[in-house]
Each structure stands twice: as structure tokens, then as C-alpha cells.
Structure 1
């Protein structure tokens, strides 16, 4: 057993948000199975352009179906009050926050990195304040309470600059450093390289997973937030798949394992 999962996400992708929540839920179990999970920001706009793909909501039939599918998927990971913040073609220009995430990833503990992902997704999809400019990103970073963690509910977000008990995850100086770093050549190149790496692996959308089995040395791509059972099978991990129960047993959510 054992292996490595590279998970590529963009905050403009709703299913990336869902995949992040799934990854947060299973990260400790994955560690117990000697599976390393590495979350990478990548720019979905460039992936679509590079692969020739188009966002699913640009096709009317997929857009209609997507309303049903997204709500089911959101409920499954406990997310609510989630909806697009406007024209996704406009607000999907997420290069600024993605470069900032790369800086946070290299300079802060993993828990801080995951909490930042959560806060950026929350700002985008629930608060409808897409952190896609330095000013908007700074407000979001300043609003993250110090005791925020990746599993915490963000339903009652604090106003910008005020965390719970007056403490923030990032100080004003740290926010300034993050905003300065995202403009640098280093993190511009880092985002470009991560995006190209996913494209070289065959990426055409988000979330994109590149999974390596440590025992066999083989790697395979997976796409979407609903492919985890295939990932576990590829890694040789024990898992329990969806199972239809006999009549007379609990129904619906009561029947979940």
C-alpha cells in the first residue's frame, strides 16, 4: 500500500470546492495508509484553453443538469448557501489568489494552507466576494479568524480585518507580504508550471487528480469529485463502496455508512 495523490484545484471550480472538503475529511486516514496528499493551485482557464474544453455550464443541457448534480454533491459534503457569484467567465480570473496560495503553501503549516483554501472558496461561492484582485484578496485574508481550521464552519464569517476575539490567521504585515509575493516572478512561474504539469498529464478540467501507487510505481489520472472509490481501488486501499440495502432497512440519508 501507500502512494501519492496530486490534487489540482481552482477556487472558481465548484467541484474543486467539493473535492477539497472530501480531501480534508479523509486526509488523516490517507496518512494512516501511507498515502501523501498534495493539493496544488492551478488555473482552470488555462487548462480549458490548453485542452480545448469548455465550461459545462456553457452547454444548455449540462447547465440544467448541473443544478441538480451540484446540489446533491454539496449536500454530501455538508456545504450550503453556495451559488455562483455572477458571470463565471469574469470572476473566474483567479490567477491572483492562486499565486497567493502557492506562497502560503511554501511559507506556512499545512493547516494554515488548508484554512486559506477554505476561506477563499467561502468568499467566492458563499459571500460572493470573489478574491480575484489584490484588494479583494487582502480583505479576505484579513478576515480569517486565527482559530479557523480546515474543518471549521465558515457560515458566520467575520467582517474584513476582524477575527474572533480580535485575532486573525494572518497579521496585517503577513497579508502585505502575501500580496507582494503573488506579484513576483517566482509565483507567476510556479502557477504557470503547476498548470502546465496538469496539462501534460492530460488535464481538461477540475478537480484533476494524478495518483501514484507506491507498490507498483504506476501513475494514473482521475477527474472529478466523485472518483474516490476508483482512486482507492487503484492504490489498493480498503474502502466501502455504495451498496443497495434490502427492503425494510433505513432509507435515504439514514442508510449512509
Structure 2
């Protein structure tokens, strides 16, 4: 049994945060079945433009529903204090480009840093698109010279091009939002998946043993 999950995320998306938390909680189990996980920073704004999609808050019905859905999700994924910041949405190019550089130069710290950035924006209410605030977040894991280097390199042609290429790759694989996944199973077959509530479909596609949602008959529930 083997496979690979390529996951495209942007810090501007709370559902990307949920996805990264969930994959992290199941990383050991996935690795035990030889399923690799590759997290790819992308620019969600570019995906929306490239796919013709519109953010949910621009459509009144979606915006109204999202308030219910987001509240349910933040409790389910274990971040009940998550709140939409007053400055939302942000132009996420700087933090996403910084993550591109971190992934190439500090791979062991890439996912922890991604989680730091998510938490800073969605729990602490920091506008991580501002260099001085992103620097504050990065300084908890990196030395001052490393932090300066990350911010400098985030604006380099290489990181700009890599983020653009990542975003284009996601679009070519059908992306219209984040989190977006491209999954390859042990047979070599590949399919896309979308959202933070499709993991049971993903596990089935990968051929993994899992317990689906269970609803026992009243009075017969196992404690």
C-alpha cells in the first residue's frame, strides 16, 4: 500500500489551516502505509482569478452559510478560538513566498512555520502580509539574520517565480480554491480532491483501512 498526497495551501484560507492540522494529526498513520505528503504554498488569489471562482464572502448566500460552517469547523478541528481578523482578506503573496523559501532552505521547519503563520493570522489577529508582523512571527523559530534573509528572499525573482509556478500547477490540476489536493494511489491512478471535509473519500481512494462516521442505534452506543 502506498501513495502520495500533494496539498496546495494558502494562509489566507482558514480551511487550508484545518487541512494542515488534520494531515499533521494523521501523518504518522499515513507514513505507516507509505503515503507521502507534500505541502505546496500557492497564491489563492491567483487560483480564483485563473479558475473564474469567486470568494464565498462576495456571494451573500455563501457568506451567510459560511458563518455557520466556519464555526462548526473550527470546533471540529480543535481551534475554537479561531476568528476572522478585521483586516481579512489579505494579499498573501509575501507570507506565501516566504514559505516557498523556507521549504527550500529550512525543510524541517517548513510545516511548523506554516502553522505559526496560520495561527498568527487566524488566532492572534496579526496581518502577516505586513513585513514587520511577519518578521515577528518568524522570529520565534529563526535567528534575526535568518529572519531578514527569509524576508529578503521572499521578494527575490526565484521565490516569486516558484510561487507562480506552484499556483499554475494547481490550476492545471483543476484547482478552483484551497485546500486542493492531487492524490496518487498505489495503482498509479490520480484524482483531485477539494476542501477540509473530504478525507474519508481520500482514504478510500488510497485503499486505507479507516472507520467512517458511525451512528449507533439509540441505546446501543458503545461508551
Q: TM-score, normalised by structure 1?
A: 0.84
Using the TM superposition, give the Cα deviation of residue 120 of structure 1 relative to its aligned residue in structure 2, in angstroms: 0.4
Q: Given the alignment, which residue of 114, 126, 131 partners 2:128?
A: 131
RMSD (Å), alpha carbons? 1.4
Q: Which residue of 2 aligns with 1:204?
A: 176
Rounded Cα–Cα distance in structure 2 between residues aligned with 1:79 and 1:121 = 11
**SS of 1:118 mapped into structure 2:** helix
Q: Which residue of 2 aligns with 1:52?
A: 52
Rounded Cα–Cα distance in structure 2 between residues aligned with 1:139 and 1:249 = 52
Rounded Cα–Cα distance in structure 2 between residues aligned with 1:81 and 1:58 = 24
Q: Which residue of 2 aligns with 1:64?
A: 64
Q: Which residue of 2 aligns with 1:33?
A: 33
Using the TM superposition, give the Cα deviation of residue 123 of structure 1 relative to its aligned residue in structure 2, in angstroms: 1.1
Q: Which residue of 1 aligns with 2:6?
A: 6
How many residue pairs align between the two structures? Answer: 223
Q: Which residue of 2 aligns with 1:121?
A: 118
Larger mean Cα displacement after TM superposition, 203-212 or 60-69: 60-69
User: Alpha-carbon deviations, 1:187-233, whole Å to 9, x = none?
Assistant: 111100000000000100010000011x2111100000000011111
Q: Which residue of 2 aligns with 1:24?
A: 24
Using the TM superposition, give the Cα deviation of residue 86 of structure 1 relative to its aligned residue in structure 2, in angstroms: 2.2
The equivalences for 1:168-187 within 5 A come to 169-187=141-159
Using the TM superposition, give the Cα deviation of residue 63 of structure 1 relative to its aligned residue in structure 2, in angstroms: 1.3
Using the TM superposition, give the Cα deviation of residue 87 of structure 1 relative to its aligned residue in structure 2, in angstroms: 4.5
Rounded Cα–Cα distance in structure 2 between residues aligned with 1:200 and 1:86 = 33
Q: Structure 1: give runs of 5+ residues left out of the alignment.
A: 145-168
Q: Which residue of 2 aligns with 1:193?
A: 165
Rounded Cα–Cα distance in structure 2 between residues aligned with 1:28 and 1:57 = 35
